[in-house]
Structure formats: structure tokens, C-alpha cells
Amino acid sequence: MASTKSFSVSGKTAIVTGAGSGINLAFAQLLLSHDCSVIFADLELRPEAKDVISRYQSEGKSKAQASFIKTDVTSWTDLSNMFSFALEKHGDIDIVCPGAGVYEPHWSNFWHPPGSSESRDAVDKGHYGLLDINLTHPIRVTQMAISHWLYPRPPSEGSKFTAAPPKASPSNPKRVIHISSVAAQIPVWRAPLYAASKFGLSGFIRSVARLEPLFGVRVNAVAPGVVRTPLWTEHPEKLRNVDQSQDAWVTPQEVAQAMLRCIEEDENVGGTVLEVGAGNTRKVNAFNDPGPDRDPRKGLITSSNEHGDGDVLNWLQDENVWGPHL
């Protein structure tokens, strides 16, 4: 069941975490081009993201405005400040994309346990940095968005806005769009923490699907394959798993377009997970799904995985990595 009222991003305001690069930057650009204002929430901005913000920053030059707030998505205080910043600038928030994520970096990696030389996850820390970013942050941001939309608070003293925004409802719909992965459908030997985070995220999204018919809050996701972003292109150890002669890439722009469809199209109801390959999308079934197409030309998997798989075996045989310090 879709929201009673159709949704258009034009004239709306969005928060996008991780908008400094990659998929989230492409999504922010797409929203801005559709007259939707965007809060870029990230630790830092790449030059291309700075250029986008500068083009949309001057009031009066565009219907849409872009602004940046430095945000550590593992800090719940920073996430709260992000919402306050957006409300102070725009008075309301219509779309939230907690898109920041990492792909099994050595500093938070199942095969580099806490206490090993490359890990930043301390043995007494009690949590993994990757899961803080990829799973806890999107869940917490979704909670914060729902809290604001169901129980909007009046503006702070001195604000240019005079009243609290209206509550979310089927006639006043809101959107949360997440970035899952094809890794939520298949085992990934070289990236088990990443796969676990995406399995968890897809399960979470499906579990809150009833928010849309009840309150007008749609929570859904895209599940891209191998996307040409800095997470891949600036990491030679990951690029070794890509056969450049046959493996297709998905572009960030293709993913961004699918995200827009999840937000606007009536058929992509709450709980939908839309897989994004090279030139193709499909809905992932909650039950008995056949899984992603294994043809590497479809952009959903890589075909030279023996390199990453071999790295894992080497680490497991290294006492300095898996020794008694654990």
C-alpha cells in the first residue's frame, strides 16, 4: 500500500550522509537538479562535492540550496546536530539518506581482528567501526527522522521559522532511502563484516515497511552491485578482484536514479529493496529470491575473487594477525 499522496522531491529538503563522494554525491547532485535542497553531512568533501555546493549555495540563484555540516556518523551527538542544522536552515526535512558506508577496510575488518596491527578496533572497545558506520548509523538516523516527523518540535528561539512543521501522515509523506548491497544476498568470503552489515540493513528495512501505510513514512533501499566509486577505484587491493576485460561497473548515477525511483514511484513501497546492476534494476524478493545474476557483465559481482580470497588465507596463517593477542 503506497502513501495516499504521491511524492515529488521538487521543493523538498534532504539530508544525505556521506555526500562528500561516490553514490551519495551523485544522489545529492540529482536531488539538487530536481529543485530539492540538500544538507551534505560528511567528515570532509572531495573537490567535486565542494564545487556542487558552491553552485547551489548562494540564495536566490536556485530554488534548491546546498550546505555542508561536518558529521561523524558514528557520533550520535553529531547526528543530532545534523538534524538541528537542517531544521534551522529549512524548517523541515522531507528525505533522509543515511548513505555513508565503508567496504571492509583493514582498520575494521573481520580478517584483521581487534588487537592486530592494522585494526583500529581496540580489544576492549566492544564494537566494530564498520558496523557503527554501515549498520548502527543508518538505523539511528532512521529513528531520529521518525521522531522528528511524528513529534515535530517548535523552532528554537530566534529562528526565522515561527511554527513546528506538520506531522508526517499518508497525506504528508516522508522518505528514508538506504543503500544496501548485493552483498546482502550472497556470502562474501573476503568481506564478512560488510556482508553482515548489509544483510542486517536489508532486514531492518523490510521490518519497518508498515510505517508507510500507517504514518506515510516510506523506508526502502537500493542494493547496488560493483559501483565505480573511490571505495573501489582508490584501493588497489580491491581492484585486484575486478577483471577489467569483462567485469562491468555500475555508475554512481545509475544508483542515484534508482534511489530517486524508490522515493517517488508509487510501486516502490516501504520495505522495497531495488537491486541495481549495469543498465538494469530489479526488486529483491523478501522470500525465495533467486539472488543476483552471476554474469560479471551485469555489474553485480566481480570475477577475479581469487586475489581477495588468497589474501584472507594468508592473513589466517599469520600469527601476527591471529595470534594470542586476541
Q: What's the pLDDT tens digit per position in 200-248?
A: 999 999 999 999 999 999 999 999 999 999 888 888 888 889 998 899 9
Position 3 scores a pLDDT of 45
Q: Residue 73: inside a domain, yes or no?
A: yes
Position 210 scores a pLDDT of 98
Position 325 scores a pLDDT of 66
Q: What's the pLDDT tens digit per position in 83-127?
A: 999 999 999 999 999 999 999 999 999 999 999 999 999 999 999
Q: Residue 7: inside a domain, yes or no?
A: no
Q: Which comes out higher in pLDDT, residue 233 or 184? A: 184
Q: Residue 1: inside a domain, yes or no?
A: no
Q: Residue 3: inside a domain, yes or no?
A: no
| Residue 4 reports pLDDT greater than 70 | no
How many CB atoms neighbour CB 205 within 10 A? 25
CATH number of the domain residue 85 falls in:
3.40.50.720
Q: Residue 285: inside a domain, yes or no?
A: yes
Give me the number of domains the chain comprises. Answer: 1
- Domain residues for the domain of 48 are 13-322
Q: What's the pLDDT tens digit per position in 44-62?
A: 999 999 999 999 986 556 7
How many CB atoms neighbour CB 44 within 10 A? 10
Q: Residue 237: inside a domain, yes or no?
A: yes
Q: Residue 134: inside a domain, yes or no?
A: yes
Q: Residue 145: inside a domain, yes or no?
A: yes
